[in-house]
């Protein structure tokens, strides 16, 4: 588990804010919920207690996960990059050779990937296929529906 976790500065800050909220707000809140449920008597038939303990487990698991990701973070600021080929953080505009439609994706870490925002994970099939390519390269990407062919028309670091 010593692998570095690449992420943008925005993602790193978001993880830190979530961790702070979980530790300072959610953890104490669920401890109070457990205490209140415990005061209601017999724990073996106390649904509130069971629900609060389950919530506590989920919060503690997420705190551990966030601590691990933050500790292993390799924060990469795309605005500081000046590469000719596609690397983490690149915003890539491609032309679908079959449909003649342009698509633009930013290659980001797993935590911040969101296809609706045009952000794809570096570990996704598309992200992996794009790494190392240049403008005017033709890229063949295996997707569930088959193989898509894209021509890279722009690479930006913003």
Report the CATH architecture of 78-156: Roll (3.10)
pTM of the model: 0.77
Axis crossing angle, helix 47-71 with helix 27-38, rounded to the nearest 10: 160
Instruction: State the Cα–Cα distance between residues 19 and 111, nearest whole angstrom.
Output: 14
Structure tokens, 146: 């088959």
Fold type of domain 5-75: Helix Hairpins (1.10.287)
- The residue count of the chain comes to 158
pLDDT at 1: 43
**Residue 146, φ and ψ in degrees, nearest 5:** 135, -140
β-strands 119-121, 102-108 pairing: parallel
Contact at 8 Å (CB) between 18 and 66?
yes
Domain extents for the chain?
5-75, 78-156
What's the pLDDT tens digit per position in 91-150?
999 999 999 999 999 999 988 999 999 999 999 999 999 999 999 999 999 888 889 999
What's the pLDDT tens digit per position in 17-59?
999 999 999 999 999 999 888 887 766 677 888 889 999 999 9
């Amino acid at each position: 588990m010593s692998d570095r976790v690449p992420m943008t500065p925005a993602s790193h800050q978001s993880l830190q804010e979530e961790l702070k909220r979980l530790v300072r707000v959610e953890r104490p809140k669920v401890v109070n919920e457990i205490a209140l449920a415990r005061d209601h008597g017999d724990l073996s038939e106390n649904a509130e207690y069971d629900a609060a303990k389950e919530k506590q487990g989920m919060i503690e698991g997420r705190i551990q996960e966030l601590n691990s990701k933050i500790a292993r973070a390799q924060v990469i600021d795309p605005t500081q990059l000046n590469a000719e080929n596609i690397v983490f953080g690149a915003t890539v505009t491609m032309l679908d050779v079959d449909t003649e439609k342009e698509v633009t994706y930013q290659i980001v870490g797993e935590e911040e990937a969101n296809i609706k925002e045009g952000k794809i994970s570096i570990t996704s099939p598309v992200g992996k296929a794009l790494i190392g390519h240049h403008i005017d390269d033709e890229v063949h990407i295996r997707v569930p529906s088959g193989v898509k062919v894209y021509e890279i028309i722009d690479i930006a670091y913003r």
